[in-house]
Amino acid sequence: MISRFPSTSLLPVVLASALLVAAPTPAFSAKHTKPHAAAHKNKAAAPTEPAMTTDANGQSVPVLANKAWVLMDFNTGQLLASSNPDEPLPPASLTKMMTSYLVEQGLKSGKLKPDDKVTMSESAWCRGGKDGDSCMFVPLNAQASLMDMLRGVVIASGNDASKALAEHIGGSEPGFVAMMNAEAKKLGMSKTQFANAAGLPDPNNKASARDLAVLAAAIIRNSAEYYPIYAEREFTYNGIKQGNRNALLYTDPTVDGLKTGHTEDAGYCLTASSKRNGMRLISVIMNADSKQARADQTRVLFNWGYANFEEASPAQAGATLTTAKVTYGVAPTVNAGIAQAWTLVVPKGQAAAVQTAISLNPALEAPIAKGAVIGKIVATANGKQLGEAPVIALADVERAGFFERLRQRVAGWFSK
């Protein structure tokens, strides 16, 4: 086969065409007032072994490049591992978890209604997403339903929705911030101080990783009927579709919340929760270097936590664990047990090794009310105490009459 080359006269045209095709396309940038929904088509990177270190308890834990992180068991509130968990740091839009929580609790109590109309005031209005603002894009002076505004906070991370809700509920944003701080104190968030409803930069707006995990647990537990909103992947309002910024919702089916955050001072933050085989974990990442880093670090924590820990239930609520002797009662004994489900987190493989011991208060005397604490139960494994729970009377024991008490006293003398 003979190859034929173009004639000399055509060579310049061919070369020019080739150069045009090979040349890189110029990059253009433009400001968009209406953001598109995030595609989130990228899949999770192949798992790699994280760098590990040993903590103060001799436990091998992951090394993560951020300022603070925690991994908490939801059922017990136990920190499985952490780094710098109690330093107050800028939380960025993780602040909005408290805003949404107060809205949810208002709905739950009936003080707020899903179809309440919330006005977008000029002070709350988002002027086109300038300076990278996160916005729901409710028009100035327009109204949106309270449930739409809630989704605007949780999914779109709208600063405008957060401020509008704050004004609607608290009368003003400062009034709402006072409510936020009161609720933080009630939840035991001792290292947290809120200064605004959206998490905008403010030297007085700080929270610790541990506190944010506590807040996430409160949302999951106390706002259960509204918690599914945190797993919704997109929200459309006013013709604008926005994707949830929690990348793990698209790559890990066990993740169902909660909130992302980012400012220059706060870095990239993420509070997330995952449930696998009935065990729920909560993670908080603060001040990671990128969106990808906060997602990857969260994935590392969840995989590490589920690989190294399991839950154990040393005793069942309401079951008779022992029988306590009672003096001067119409009955000589009372069944004893625990009032609520008791869960412990133990190293993987040690659930079967958990043992319990019960100690009762001495000289129990009637009357005894059902539910009264009459002792405690202690759980151990391999000689190490794991936790304890109060032991209660499972029934009422009324005080006997005078002659029966006298009979028991005399019988007691002769039994000594």
Q: Which residues are catalytic?
A: 93, 96, 157
Sheet with 255-263, strands from edge to edge, namely 79-83, 68-73, 279-288, 267-276, 255-263
Give which of 69, 111, 138, 26 is closest to 283, Cα–Cα: 69
Contacts of 279 (CB under 8 A, 6+ apart): 73, 75, 306, 309, 310, 311
**The one-letter amino acid at 177:** V
Q: Are 272 and 65 in contact (CB under 8 A)?
A: no
The span from the CA of 181 to the CA of 18, in Å, is 65
Burial pattern 68-103, b for ≥16 Cβ within 10 A else e, equals: bbbbbbbbeeebbbbbbbeebbbbbbbbbbbbbbbb
SS3 content of the chain, % helix, strand, coil (to 5): 30, 25, 45
Place of tokens 């100035």: 140
**Dihedral pair phi/psi, residue 72, rounded to 5°:** -120, 140
Give which of 286, 266, 319 is closest to 82, Cα–Cα: 286
Joined tokens for residue 351: 């659930």
